[in-house]
Amino acid sequence: MGLGAFHKKKRYCINKIKINFLSFFFTRKKNDKINADNIKTCLLIHDNNKLGDLIVLSSLYRELSNRGVKLSILTTETGKAFLSGNSRIHQFYIKKSNAISDVLALRKQLSGESFDIVLDPFE
């Protein structure tokens, strides 16, 4: 295995650990069945710099907005700059880096929020 492939796998594993660590704090209530009519708030996670993914998700923003869902997005500075003109997005949460301190700061920021559903469409 080359050094580049090793580094990519290492980053993938570290991100998985961070996601699982953060999800531990957001599992307060579990519903086996989700009633789409009861969803009023949504957090959409898009924490990479791939703008194409944001474009692909634009139909999801529209559909959620048409249903009256208040959409918040966890993204990078690049993603926020790209989507800042989209009136369908209620709020942005910025992931600055993969550093533990930044992830914990983001967790602290999100801990005061409550979302009916959290979506990570590319995970």
pLDDT (tens place) for every residue of the chain, 123 residues total:
777 788 788 888 787 777 777 666 665 555 567 788 889 999 998 877 788 888 888 888 899 999 999 999 998 899 899 888 989 999 999 988 888 888 888 888 888 888 988 888 876
Does residue 12 sit within a domain? no
Strand locations in 31-114 (E): 41-45, 70-75, 89-94
Domain that holds residue 100: 40-119
CATH number where 57 lies: 3.40.50.20
Q: Could you give the number of structural domains in the chain?
A: 1
The pTM assigned to this predicted structure is 0.70
11, part of any domain: no
Question: Could you tell me the two tokens for 58?
Answer: 């634009």
Flag whether 96 is in a domain. yes
Give the Cα separation of 110 and 9 in Å (integer): 28
Looking at residue 17, its pLDDT comes to: 78
> What's the per-residue H, E or C state across 73-94?
EEECHHHHHHHCCCCCEEEEEE
Give every strand in the sheet of 89-94, ordered side by side: 89-94, 70-75, 41-45, 117-119
32 assigned to some structural domain: no
